[in-house]
Amino acid sequence: AQEPVRVLVTGAAGQIGYALVPMIARGVLLGPNQPVILHMLDIPPAAESLNGVKMELVDAAFPLLKGVVATTDVVEACTGVNIAIMVGGFPRKEGMERKDVMSKNVSIYKAQASALEKHAAANCKVLVVANPANTNALILKEFAPSIPEKNISCLTRLDHNRALGQISERLNVQVSEVKNVIIWGNHSSTQYPDVNHATVKLPSGEEKSVRELVADDEWLNGEFITTVQQRGAAIIKARKLSSALSAASAACDHIRDWVLGTPEGTWVSMGVYSDGSYNVPAGLIYSFPVTCRNGEWSIVQGLSVDEFSRKKLDLTAEELTEEKALAYSCLS
Ligand code: NAI
């Protein structure tokens, strides 16, 4: 039998946590043969609710779930974890300044970075979901210098999946037949959903470009982009709560592809530490197209970037550079 993998979920008493932990316990994250031990962290005001989630996990009698640690102690939560999904954070409340929210999250991610660095298993893979996701991941990276930077990422897979969904609806094709969209940049409304390299597999088996099939550049360069960028707000408007099941599902997709590999000929979007590819400033956590193999991602190289796209890649990079500066100003 395989050794269980320890998976940390922070903010586990929250909305995304509630959707995510049963997916992990069912094998959605690492496949149906991989036992898991869940580590769930939340803060003291949520301790009782966290314990309720633990009770429900027991009640669900998941065969793959070999143990549950539910705690408000960050050291206990981080000890021995192989995968860390960081969902906990300080939400923006009405009337709060951006700087105040940033400051709260910077101190959370600084502290949790140290705990992971000291107590997680060697080669722990980290996915930051909590917003501002890219910048939280950057702070985590800076304060966990012994964790290789290639092990730290943030979630833009939800945006990627939203883009696939929009194309699938527009063309009336199965979403599984659409691939190779790209989310560039920040997980925010400046992100650039790019379909210039995306394709659809037709019933005949032939692959055709999305641009050719949609044959409506005005829609692709306009409404499509804003719909994906604003989808989070549309969900909040409809549900009075932010995306949770789709975020949890995307987090599983992100980790699964990272660990088990992306299918041949397919790439996905991940927020990763920029090495300067595509002239994106190095030293930002920026969403790129990546392929994964043997547990490591690499940025897809050599894709053409037209003038329209270039402007959008730069705009979202500028926002991330500003966020980085704001985060650093909170540290001093
Ligand atoms: P939520 O408010 O329901 O849950 C957050 C949980 O984190 C709460 O239980 C809270 O007590 C906990 N928490 C706060 N500080 C903590 C700390 N220091 N350590 C551990 N836990 C802590 O929020 P929800 O809806 O689950 O969203 C979680 C985060 O994910 C938010 O920041 C949200 O903006 C972000 N998000 C990101 C997406 C992405 O695609 N990257 C998509 C959707 C949401």
The pLDDT assigned to 14 comes to: 98
CB 268 within 8 A of CB 157: yes
The pLDDT assigned to 96 comes to: 83
pLDDT band at 256 (very low <50, low <70, confident <90, very high): very high
The whole-number average pLDDT for the span 90-102 is 86
On the question of pLDDT at 276 being above 80, the answer is yes
| Nearest atom (ligand 1) to Cα of 158 | 40
Residue listed under structure tokens 């932010």:
242
As a whole number of angstroms, the distance between CA 327 and CA 321 comes to 10
In percent, the amount of the chain with pLDDT more than 90 equals: 96
pLDDT band at 94 (very low <50, low <70, confident <90, very high): confident
The pLDDT assigned to 98 comes to: 83
On the question of pLDDT at 1 being above 80, the answer is no
CA distances from 307 to 16, 140, 314, 329 (A): 37, 33, 11, 33
pLDDT band at 97 (very low <50, low <70, confident <90, very high): confident
The whole-number average pLDDT for the span 288-306 is 98
Lining residues, ligand 1, CB within 6 Å? 10-11, 13-17, 41-43, 46, 87-91, 108, 129-131, 133, 155, 158, 187, 242-244, 247
Provide the ipTM: 0.99
Q: Give the residue, out of 41, 131, 245, with the most ligand 1 atoms within 8 A of its beta carbon, to mutate for a pocket test.
A: 131
As a whole number of angstroms, the distance between CA 278 and CA 122 comes to 31
Give residue 94 CA to ligand 1 midpoint distance, Å.
16
Prediction pTM value: 0.98
Q: Give the residue, out of 23, 39, 43, 155, with the most ligand 1 atoms within 8 A of its beta carbon, to mutate for a pocket test.
A: 43
On the question of pLDDT at 83 being above 90, the answer is yes
The whole-number average pLDDT for the span 132-145 is 97
The pLDDT assigned to 19 comes to: 98
Give the rounded distance of the alpha carbon of 174 from its chain centre: 23
The whole-number average pLDDT for the span 170-178 is 97
